[in-house]
């Protein structure tokens, strides 16, 4: 899943980024996407929570078709600018050439926060904005990127829960 969406989804229904341990686990699970995270990164919990808040408010405004909150946009742009990046061509015999963004080495915290901020910027500022949704399943309400135009649930589990809830609502009538 996209890093920015993934970060915002840690907020609800249960906030899983409330401790250094929670952040360490989240980063470890995303090692492939975000790169290895040193132990010192777990101490940056307030910065990750602040970025999450900015992304969450930006996504919420985009979902509602409201003007984007200027302070949140400024925070995303600042996080992106903190680790200057440039495209690099990666040759792969198996999958064909791809492009990655390499960053000037400015420290792991700034680099990972910049990568997450850029993913939010790319979503809200590009065609993926149309795929941004809020899950309609009971007790979810988390954002996700829809794979199909008619997708309203973020996962199979949410779809099943919503169907069961609907079934009981009907049966109770």
Which contacts of 55-59 are long-range, i.e. CB under 8 A and separated by 24 or more positions?
A: 55/4, 55/7, 55/8, 55/116, 55/117, 55/120, 56/8, 56/11, 56/143, 58/120, 58/124, 59/4, 59/5, 59/8, 59/120, 59/123, 59/124, 59/132, 59/143
Of 31 and 166, nearer to Zn ion (C-beta) is 166
Query: Judged by CB under 5 A, which of 7, 113, 132, 154 binds Zn ion?
Result: 154
Q: Is residue 143 within the footprint of Zn ion (CB under 5 A)? A: no
Over the range 153-172, which residues count as b (16 or more CB within 10 Å of their CB) and which as e? bbeeebbebbeeeeeeeeee
Query: Judged by CB under 5 A, which of 3, 4, 27, 135 binds Zn ion?
Result: 135
Of 37 and 158, nearer to Zn ion (C-beta) is 158
Q: Is residue 140 within the footprint of Zn ion (CB under 5 A)? A: yes
Q: Is residue 73 within the footprint of Zn ion (CB under 5 A)? A: no
Query: Judged by CB under 5 A, which of 34, 42, 137, 143 binds Zn ion?
Result: 137
User: Binding residues for Zn ion, how many (CB under 5 A)?
Assistant: 5
Query: Judged by CB under 5 A, which of 158, 164, 166, 170 binds Zn ion?
Result: 158
Binding region for Zn ion (CB under 5 A):
135, 137, 140, 154, 158
């Amino acid at each position: 899943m996209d890093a920015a969406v993934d970060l915002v989804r840690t907020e609800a229904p249960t906030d899983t980024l409330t401790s250094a341990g929670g952040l360490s686990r989240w980063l470890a699970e995303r090692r492939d996407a975000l790169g290895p995270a040193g132990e010192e990164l777990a101490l940056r919990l307030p910065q990750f929570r602040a970025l999450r808040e900015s992304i969450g408010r930006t996504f919420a405004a985009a979902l509602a078709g409201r003007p984007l909150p200027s302070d949140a946009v400024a925070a995303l742009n600042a996080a992106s600018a903190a680790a200057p990046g440039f495209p690099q061509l990666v040759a792969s015999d198996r999958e064909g050439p791809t492009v990655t963004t390499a960053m000037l080495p400015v420290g792991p915290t700034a680099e990972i926060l910049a990568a997450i901020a850029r993913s939010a910027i790319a979503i809200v500022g590009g065609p993926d904005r149309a795929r941004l949704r809020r899950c309609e399943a009971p007790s979810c309400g988390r954002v996700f990127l829809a794979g199909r135009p008619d997708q309203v649930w973020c996962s199979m589990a949410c779809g099943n829960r919503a169907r069961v809830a609907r079934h009981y609502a009907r049966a109770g009538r």
